[in-house]
Amino acid sequence: MNSGPAVTVAGSGNWLLGHDRVGPRVLAMIDQRYSQKVEICDLGTSALALLDHLHGQDLLVIVDACIGYGAAGEVMVMEPDLEAIPGRGTSVHQIGPVEALVVCSHLDPQVMPTRVLLILVETGDLAEEMEKAACEQVVEMLDREIGRLADDRTTDDPAFTGTEGRKPWLNNQSCNVSKG
């Protein structure tokens, strides 16, 4: 049922709160970095906004901050179990991205992505320079995951083919930017 971009990168968080700006910071770093087959959406602090961006894409990556799950600046990647009933400790938001996906998987399963990655950055006691470095690490992870998906595609797939010497999924032109 994929009627939109093959990949969605969703950032969750709030620029005004130092411990919660990882999602928006990463989105700012990748703005115009990828082709039009990569949708970038800012969820703000409402994970329910994520539901507007589900369309059966191949990969959904959610970037968010967390507190109390690791050392300051640690970047954690997980594929959430959308069959499990989540506890309340997953997000500082009213309903977190994982909870929103669990609800959607029961109410509208045909729009669910094939694969979901949650990238969390531990922001407890995190200095701004360390936060920037952690966000750069997240961008490298995104490059790898999106590149891996592109490598899995057939060479005649127009979504991921490009010019010689250039990673076709990277783009120096505009991309689909949606503000949630």
Cβ within 8 Å of residue 32, ≥6 positions away? 171, 172, 173, 174, 175
**pLDDT of amino acid 109:** 94
3-state secondary structure of 37: coil
Amino acid at 80: P
Lowest mean pLDDT among 39-53, 77-91, 115-129, 145-159: 145-159
pLDDT digits (tens, 9 = 90+) for 28-56: 999 989 988 899 999 988 888 999 999 99
Domains of the chain: 7-179 (3.40.50.1450)
Q: Which residues pair with 61 in a beta bridge?
A: 9, 117
Query: Which pLDDT score, from 0 to 100, does residue 119 have?
Result: 96
Contacts of 133 (CB under 8 A, 6+ apart): 73
pTM: 0.81
Q: Who wins on pLDDT, 99 or 179?
A: 99
Averaged pLDDT for residues 57-63:
96
Instruction: For residue 70, give Cα distances in angstroms to 122, 125, 128, 139.
Output: 6, 11, 17, 19
